[in-house]
Homo-oligomer: A and B are copies of this chain.
Amino acid sequence: MLRDNMVKVVVNGVGTIGKRVAEAVKKQDDMELYGLSDVSASGGLRTVLSEDGALHKTSLYGSSEDGVENLREDGMHVEGVLEDVLGEVDVVVDCTPPGIDEKNKENLYEPNDVKAIFQGGAPKDIAPVAFNADANYEEAEGEDFVKVVSCNTTSLSRTMSAVDENFGVEHAVASLVRRGGDIPQDGRGPINSTVPVTEVPSHHGPDVQAVMPDLDIKTLAVKVPVTYGHVHMVNVELEQEANEEEVLEAFEEQPRVSLVSAGDGYDSTGKIHERMRDLHSERSDMHEAAVWEETVTVENGTLYWIHMVHQEAIVVPDNVDAIRAMFELEDKDTSIKKTNDAVRIKSVP
């Protein structure tokens, strides 16, 4: 039950995902960013709260008493400790590192009776629902705890649900080429190496199955020296016949899948990155999974394609939708449309 007609949201953990979710919440008309919470002042936190930053004048809390102190020592203006205001908050979007999220649930959210959303790195059993708006919005309706799945899983859930609903998936295999680290993570490698995930199939398959339990999907993965974007090479045995136009149409109709054309000049992750810059997308973010349209191919009942995932941004709209589902504010299609309009998700011409 809502305390007000606007959902009051706190984002706890203002890193890569947290700062983006906070900004996205601010753009919605049915929810309010009550505040941020963290335990120290990273460059990111410092900047988003600075005079020119995206979250200037947002209230800042310490996630713990120590956190309050650290933040103050770092020169930040802190309102107090998060727990003291949880009584006025409807939901916390927890974007803290794996391990911390679990403790927060036990020590902060459950005792204070506040709903919470967790991210892809959280343990499976932290919430009854592994969430992707396109694939299973309804399952989160009314829930107190929801886990929004990771970036790779989100892109696979979006594309696979489009294919599965339209043509049926007999068996799917996705080969993931993951980025080594994000733009500011200069301490992460590899330099000049390709690093396989030697556990085969990798965990990404079961992660998708947490969202789509009936999907037969296996994944393999490697890590490479890039900072912007994972790329997936996918092959799917279809249950029903389909031709390429039908598949392209199914992708086009998926509200968070974009078709990009190599022929128009977008033939690498760097060129798509530039495209998002040219669109003045904030932080050069791409919220859609981007399928290279030339790669969509059907041969002998097998469908192939290659898509790109912007690892920092793709889960942001799903976090917003999860809030709506948990408070049963809107049905799936309306929520997705509202979020998309607010954060300017659109198809690539």
Binding site for B on A (CB under 8 A): 19, 41-44, 46-48, 50-54, 171, 173, 175, 177, 180-196, 198-201, 218, 220-222, 224-229, 231, 233, 235, 262, 264-271, 273-275, 277-280, 282-284, 292, 294-297, 299, 302, 304-306, 308, 344, 346, 349
Contact = CB atoms under 8 A, between A and B. Distances in A.
Q: How many copies of this chain does the complex contain?
A: 4
B192 A190 contact: no
Contact of A270 (B184, B264, B271, B304): B184
Given A222-B177, A267-B195, A280 B278 contact: no
A285 B333 CA distance: 36
A222 B46 CA distance: 25
Top 8 nearest A-B pairs by Cβ distance? A43-B265, A175-B175, A193-B270, A184-B274, A47-B278, A186-B190, A277-B283, A186-B193
Given A198-B295, A200-B306, A282-B280, A268 B190 contact: yes
A292 to B, nearest CB: 5
A77 to B, nearest CB: 13
A180 B277 CA distance: 19
11 contacts: A47-B275, A177-B224, A185-B270, A191-B227, A196-B262, A198-B267, A199-B294, A200-B306, A218-B299, A220-B295, A278-B283
